[in-house]
Amino acid sequence: MIVLPGGVRRYPGYLDRAEQEALVEVIRQVVSVAPLYVPVMPRSGQPMSVRMTNCGMLGWVTDRDRGYRYQETHPVTGAPWPPLPPRLMEIWRDVGETPLEPEACLVNFYSDEARMGLHQDRDEREFSAPVVSISLGNACLFRIGGLERKDRTTSVRLESGDIVVLGGDSRLLFHGVDRIYPNTSTLLKNGGRINLTLRRVNPAQ
Ligand code: MD3
Ligand code: FE
Protein backbone atom coordinates (compact mmCIF):
# COMPACT_ATOMS: atom_id res chain seq x y z
CA MET A 1 0.00 0.00 0.00
CA ILE A 2 1.24 3.49 -0.92
CA VAL A 3 -0.08 6.76 0.53
CA LEU A 4 -0.54 9.42 -2.17
CA PRO A 5 -0.83 13.19 -1.53
CA GLY A 6 -3.79 14.10 0.68
CA GLY A 7 -3.85 10.67 2.35
CA VAL A 8 -5.26 8.76 -0.65
CA ARG A 9 -4.33 5.08 -0.25
CA ARG A 10 -3.27 3.16 -3.35
CA TYR A 11 -2.90 -0.61 -3.69
CA PRO A 12 -0.99 -1.13 -6.97
CA GLY A 13 -1.69 -4.53 -8.53
CA TYR A 14 -4.22 -5.51 -5.85
CA LEU A 15 -6.00 -7.78 -8.35
CA ASP A 16 -3.96 -10.28 -10.38
CA ARG A 17 -4.88 -11.03 -14.01
CA ALA A 18 -7.17 -13.96 -13.16
CA GLU A 19 -9.02 -11.86 -10.55
CA GLN A 20 -9.38 -8.99 -13.03
CA GLU A 21 -10.86 -11.37 -15.63
CA ALA A 22 -13.28 -12.76 -13.03
CA LEU A 23 -14.36 -9.25 -12.07
CA VAL A 24 -14.95 -8.28 -15.72
CA GLU A 25 -17.29 -11.31 -15.98
CA VAL A 26 -19.11 -10.15 -12.84
CA ILE A 27 -19.52 -6.67 -14.35
CA ARG A 28 -20.77 -8.13 -17.66
CA GLN A 29 -23.49 -9.88 -15.65
CA VAL A 30 -24.42 -6.59 -13.97
CA VAL A 31 -24.50 -4.76 -17.32
CA SER A 32 -26.71 -7.48 -18.86
CA VAL A 33 -29.37 -6.67 -16.21
CA ALA A 34 -28.67 -2.96 -15.80
CA PRO A 35 -27.46 -1.64 -19.18
CA LEU A 36 -24.89 1.16 -19.47
CA TYR A 37 -26.55 4.50 -20.25
CA VAL A 38 -25.38 8.02 -21.07
CA PRO A 39 -25.66 10.28 -18.01
CA VAL A 40 -26.37 13.99 -18.62
CA MET A 41 -25.35 16.97 -16.52
CA PRO A 42 -27.89 18.88 -14.42
CA ARG A 43 -29.41 22.04 -16.02
CA SER A 44 -27.23 22.05 -19.20
CA GLY A 45 -28.30 18.55 -20.24
CA GLN A 46 -24.76 18.05 -21.61
CA PRO A 47 -24.02 14.32 -21.99
CA MET A 48 -21.04 12.99 -20.04
CA SER A 49 -18.44 11.06 -22.07
CA VAL A 50 -18.46 8.19 -19.57
CA ARG A 51 -21.25 5.56 -19.73
CA MET A 52 -22.62 4.40 -16.39
CA THR A 53 -24.63 1.84 -14.51
CA ASN A 54 -24.76 0.63 -10.88
CA CYS A 55 -25.23 -2.35 -8.63
CA GLY A 56 -26.21 -2.43 -4.96
CA MET A 57 -29.26 -1.14 -3.05
CA LEU A 58 -28.66 2.37 -4.42
CA GLY A 59 -27.16 3.80 -7.60
CA TRP A 60 -25.76 7.22 -8.45
CA VAL A 61 -27.58 8.87 -11.37
CA THR A 62 -27.79 12.27 -13.00
CA ASP A 63 -30.17 13.90 -15.46
CA ARG A 64 -31.06 17.40 -16.62
CA ASP A 65 -34.12 17.97 -14.46
CA ARG A 66 -33.40 16.16 -11.20
CA GLY A 67 -29.59 16.46 -11.06
CA TYR A 68 -27.13 14.30 -9.13
CA ARG A 69 -28.69 11.82 -6.69
CA TYR A 70 -28.87 8.24 -5.49
CA GLN A 71 -31.93 6.13 -6.32
CA GLU A 72 -33.05 2.51 -6.02
CA THR A 73 -33.85 2.01 -9.71
CA HIS A 74 -32.22 2.20 -13.16
CA PRO A 75 -33.18 5.50 -14.82
CA VAL A 76 -33.92 3.86 -18.21
CA THR A 77 -35.40 0.44 -17.35
CA GLY A 78 -36.96 1.43 -14.00
CA ALA A 79 -35.80 -1.90 -12.54
CA PRO A 80 -34.04 -2.22 -9.15
CA TRP A 81 -30.24 -2.32 -9.42
CA PRO A 82 -28.73 -5.83 -9.34
CA PRO A 83 -27.22 -6.78 -5.95
CA LEU A 84 -23.63 -6.00 -4.99
CA PRO A 85 -21.57 -9.02 -6.08
CA PRO A 86 -19.92 -10.89 -3.16
CA ARG A 87 -16.41 -10.27 -4.52
CA LEU A 88 -16.96 -6.49 -4.31
CA MET A 89 -18.22 -6.78 -0.70
CA GLU A 90 -15.08 -8.76 0.09
CA ILE A 91 -12.79 -6.09 -1.40
CA TRP A 92 -14.61 -3.34 0.55
CA ARG A 93 -14.16 -5.29 3.82
CA ASP A 94 -10.48 -5.84 3.06
CA VAL A 95 -9.46 -2.25 2.20
CA GLY A 96 -12.31 -0.02 3.41
CA GLU A 97 -11.35 0.21 7.09
CA THR A 98 -15.00 0.84 8.05
CA PRO A 99 -17.65 -1.15 9.93
CA LEU A 100 -20.34 0.20 7.55
CA GLU A 101 -21.49 -1.86 4.57
CA PRO A 102 -21.32 -0.44 1.04
CA GLU A 103 -24.71 0.52 -0.45
CA ALA A 104 -23.79 1.48 -4.01
CA CYS A 105 -21.31 0.52 -6.69
CA LEU A 106 -21.09 2.98 -9.58
CA VAL A 107 -19.78 1.34 -12.77
CA ASN A 108 -18.07 3.85 -15.08
CA PHE A 109 -17.13 2.77 -18.61
CA TYR A 110 -14.60 4.99 -20.39
CA SER A 111 -13.99 4.70 -24.11
CA ASP A 112 -10.38 5.62 -24.95
CA GLU A 113 -11.62 9.19 -25.66
CA ALA A 114 -13.64 9.66 -22.48
CA ARG A 115 -12.69 11.97 -19.59
CA MET A 116 -14.08 13.00 -16.23
CA GLY A 117 -13.71 16.61 -15.12
CA LEU A 118 -12.43 17.67 -11.70
CA HIS A 119 -15.18 17.22 -9.08
CA GLN A 120 -15.90 16.18 -5.49
CA ASP A 121 -18.02 13.17 -4.50
CA ARG A 122 -20.46 14.77 -2.08
CA ASP A 123 -23.90 13.39 -2.91
CA GLU A 124 -23.57 10.87 -0.07
CA ARG A 125 -24.96 11.55 3.43
CA GLU A 126 -22.12 9.72 5.17
CA PHE A 127 -18.50 10.78 4.74
CA SER A 128 -16.95 8.64 7.51
CA ALA A 129 -16.86 5.69 5.10
CA PRO A 130 -14.42 5.82 2.17
CA VAL A 131 -14.96 5.61 -1.57
CA VAL A 132 -13.17 2.49 -2.86
CA SER A 133 -12.13 2.64 -6.54
CA ILE A 134 -11.19 -0.38 -8.68
CA SER A 135 -9.55 0.13 -12.11
CA LEU A 136 -9.85 -2.41 -14.96
CA GLY A 137 -8.59 -2.24 -18.56
CA ASN A 138 -6.55 0.56 -20.08
CA ALA A 139 -4.48 2.75 -17.77
CA CYS A 140 -5.58 6.30 -17.00
CA LEU A 141 -4.11 9.57 -15.84
CA PHE A 142 -5.88 10.37 -12.60
CA ARG A 143 -5.68 13.82 -10.99
CA ILE A 144 -6.03 14.52 -7.26
CA GLY A 145 -6.43 18.04 -5.91
CA GLY A 146 -7.32 19.59 -2.57
CA LEU A 147 -10.52 20.56 -0.77
CA GLU A 148 -10.97 23.58 -3.05
CA ARG A 149 -11.13 23.59 -6.83
CA LYS A 150 -8.26 26.09 -7.07
CA ASP A 151 -5.84 23.93 -5.02
CA ARG A 152 -2.79 22.43 -6.69
CA THR A 153 -3.17 18.95 -8.14
CA THR A 154 -1.01 15.84 -8.49
CA SER A 155 -1.33 13.37 -11.37
CA VAL A 156 -1.10 9.61 -10.91
CA ARG A 157 -1.24 6.86 -13.53
CA LEU A 158 -3.64 4.10 -12.48
CA GLU A 159 -3.26 0.63 -14.00
CA SER A 160 -5.64 -2.31 -14.39
CA GLY A 161 -5.96 -4.12 -11.07
CA ASP A 162 -5.12 -1.07 -8.94
CA ILE A 163 -7.35 -0.11 -6.02
CA VAL A 164 -7.55 3.40 -4.58
CA VAL A 165 -9.20 4.18 -1.23
CA LEU A 166 -10.41 7.73 -0.56
CA GLY A 167 -11.01 7.78 3.13
CA GLY A 168 -10.58 10.05 6.12
CA ASP A 169 -9.01 13.36 5.17
CA SER A 170 -8.95 12.40 1.46
CA ARG A 171 -12.70 11.65 1.19
CA LEU A 172 -13.69 15.11 -0.13
CA LEU A 173 -10.68 15.90 -2.32
CA PHE A 174 -11.29 17.17 -5.86
CA HIS A 175 -10.39 14.52 -8.44
CA GLY A 176 -10.85 13.64 -12.09
CA VAL A 177 -9.66 11.51 -15.01
CA ASP A 178 -7.64 13.48 -17.58
CA ARG A 179 -7.04 10.74 -20.12
CA ILE A 180 -7.15 7.06 -20.95
CA TYR A 181 -3.99 5.50 -22.42
CA PRO A 182 -5.09 3.37 -25.41
CA ASN A 183 -3.63 -0.14 -25.82
CA THR A 184 -2.09 -0.33 -22.36
CA SER A 185 -4.06 -3.44 -21.28
CA THR A 186 -5.41 -6.55 -23.02
CA LEU A 187 -8.13 -7.12 -20.39
CA LEU A 188 -11.00 -5.54 -22.37
CA LYS A 189 -11.13 -6.80 -25.97
CA ASN A 190 -12.51 -3.53 -27.33
CA GLY A 191 -10.28 -1.23 -25.28
CA GLY A 192 -11.42 1.40 -22.85
CA ARG A 193 -11.43 1.37 -19.08
CA ILE A 194 -13.88 0.32 -16.37
CA ASN A 195 -13.85 1.98 -12.97
CA LEU A 196 -15.91 0.65 -10.09
CA THR A 197 -16.52 2.90 -7.08
CA LEU A 198 -17.99 1.35 -3.95
CA ARG A 199 -19.81 3.84 -1.73
CA ARG A 200 -21.69 4.18 1.55
CA VAL A 201 -24.56 6.61 0.99
CA ASN A 202 -26.60 6.67 4.24
CA PRO A 203 -25.49 7.05 7.86
CA ALA A 204 -25.56 3.88 10.01
CA GLN A 205 -29.20 2.78 10.77
C1 MD3 B 1 -10.52 11.06 -4.74
N2 MD3 B 1 -14.49 8.18 -10.82
O3 MD3 B 1 -17.12 8.05 -10.31
S4 MD3 B 1 -12.28 6.91 -9.07
C5 MD3 B 1 -16.48 9.00 -9.80
O6 MD3 B 1 -11.79 6.66 -12.36
C7 MD3 B 1 -15.04 9.13 -10.12
O8 MD3 B 1 -13.90 6.67 -12.81
C9 MD3 B 1 -13.13 8.25 -11.28
O10 MD3 B 1 -14.46 10.09 -9.74
C11 MD3 B 1 -12.91 7.09 -12.20
O12 MD3 B 1 -16.97 9.82 -9.03
C13 MD3 B 1 -12.18 8.27 -10.16
C14 MD3 B 1 -11.22 7.42 -7.82
C15 MD3 B 1 -11.78 8.38 -6.85
C16 MD3 B 1 -13.07 8.29 -6.42
C17 MD3 B 1 -13.53 9.14 -5.40
C18 MD3 B 1 -12.69 10.08 -4.84
C19 MD3 B 1 -10.96 9.30 -6.31
C20 MD3 B 1 -11.38 10.16 -5.31
C21 MD3 B 1 -13.10 10.92 -3.77
C22 MD3 B 1 -12.20 11.78 -3.20
C23 MD3 B 1 -10.92 11.88 -3.70
FE1 FE C 1 -15.59 11.06 -8.21
Q: What is the DSSP string of 48-95?
A: PSSEEEEEESBEEE--TTT-SEEESB-TTT-PBPPPPPHHHHHHHHHH
Using alpha carbons, select from 109, 84, 82 the residue that is nearest to residue 188.
109
Confidence class of residue 5 from pLDDT cuts 50, 70 and 90? confident
Strand, coil or helix: 130 = coil
Measured from the CB, is residue 195 less than 6 Å from ligand 1?
A: yes
Q: What is the mean pLDDT of residues 194-198?
A: 98
Using alpha carbons, select from 144, 145, 142, 152 the residue that is nearest to residue 177.
142
Question: Tell me: the pLDDT tens digits for 119-137?
Answer: 999 999 999 999 999 999 9
Measured from the CB, is residue 166 less than 6 Å from ligand 1?
A: yes
Cα of 18 from ligand 2 centre, angstroms: 27
Backbone angles phi, psi at 5, to 5 degrees: -50, 140
Q: Is the pLDDT of residue 205 over 80?
A: no
pLDDT of res. 111: 98
Cα of 60 from ligand 2 centre, angstroms: 11
Architecture of domain 2-199: Sandwich (2.60)
pTM of the entire predicted model: 0.97
Cα of 32 from ligand 1 centre, angstroms: 24
Nearest ligand 1 atom, CA 135 = 6
pLDDT of res. 46: 96
Measured from the CB, is residue 131 less than 6 Å from ligand 1?
A: yes
